[in-house]
Every structure is written in C-alpha cells, then in structure tokens.
Amino acid sequence: MKIILIGIQGSGKSTQGNLLSEKLSIPYLSTGHIIREMAKEKTTMGRYIKETTYSGLLIPDDIMIPIVADYLARKEYQNGFILDGFPRTIEQAEKFPAHIDKVIYLSVSDKEALWRLSGQNGNGERHDDTLSAIRKRIELFHKLTEPVLDFYKKKGRLVEIDGEKPIEEIFKEILKKVKS
C-alpha cells in the first residue's frame, strides 16, 4: 500500500505516519526529515537547503522531485510506503511516478497548528521552527498544497480526517478509511 499524508506543519503527520507504519508494516518516510538531514551536510546543496527551509520556503520542484524519487527507488519502499510532506505542489503531484492508493489529509486550523508548534505543548524543539518560518510554511501550504488536495480528490484517492481529534481517534479513523 502506498499512502501520502498531507497537512500543514503541526497537523500530526509524523505521529500518524509512525503509528501507521507500525500497524501496517510498511516504512514511513518524512521528506521533512530528509531535508533536515541534508541541511546538516557541509555541501553547497546542504547550505542551500538549510537557507531555503529556515526562511520557511519550499525546496524547488526540480530539486525535490529527484530527491524523493531516489529515496523511493530504494528496496525498502518497493512494497509500499507512507510518505509525509510530498507532494506539496501540483507539479510535484503530476510528476510523481508512484501509483498512490490513499492520500490522507489531516485537517487542522492554522490557529491549532501554531499553538501546537509554539512550544506551549513542549513541541517546539526543531531549530527551523521560528514563528515567521512556521507562518510562511502555513501560508505556502494554503497557496501551493491545497490545490494538490483537489488533484487527488478528482482521482478518488483523497480522504479528509479531522486532525484536531485525539491521536487515537484520528488513527482509528485513518485505519478504517485505508482498509476500505
């Protein structure tokens, strides 16, 4: 099974992705994690990725698409995956080579996402989580990623989940939708 998790930063994608990975025995891949690891590299690409993400911008499609394609070409992803954070643009969705079974959209309000990421709940640990970067990523989500939701809805693959419910309820609802 090939699943994509979509939602604004702070919507709970990594929490649900890890739970799903364990339950369904398929690997979870976070593009955010890949990008943060690449940003640590002392290379031209590493510095570029670090500067781009820390300012709250998205990595351009011509760089991001090959990065994801290279990861998904690895043996461990051949029988399925749970992908978090990609595609984020229509161009990425259109050029994404993998057949996707379900696209799970974890819907949370901007206010809820900002609260979750502000550190009020002990979750503000990542160094790219400055308030201005978070706001910029939320703004880019609405501008660039919301059209991706329509793209998958038209293909009959989109499942919208209320991401503001308790973690266990969200997980049960996702499992029910994925297995149907």
pLDDT in tens, 14-28: 999 999 999 999 999
User: Locate tokens 């996402």: which residue?
Assistant: 113
Q: What is the mean pLDDT of the chain?
A: 89
The one-letter amino acid at 99: H
Asked if 6 and 105 touch (Cβ cutoff 8 Å), the reply is: yes
The count of other CB atoms within 10 Å of the CB of residue 83 is 26
Q: What is the CATH number of the domain that holds 93?
A: 3.40.50.300
Q: Is 152 helix (H, G, I), strand (E, B) or coil?
A: helix
- pLDDT beyond 70 at 50: yes
Domain that holds residue 158: 2-179
pTM: 0.85
* Region 60-67 average pLDDT: 91
How many distinct structural domains can be found in the chain? 1
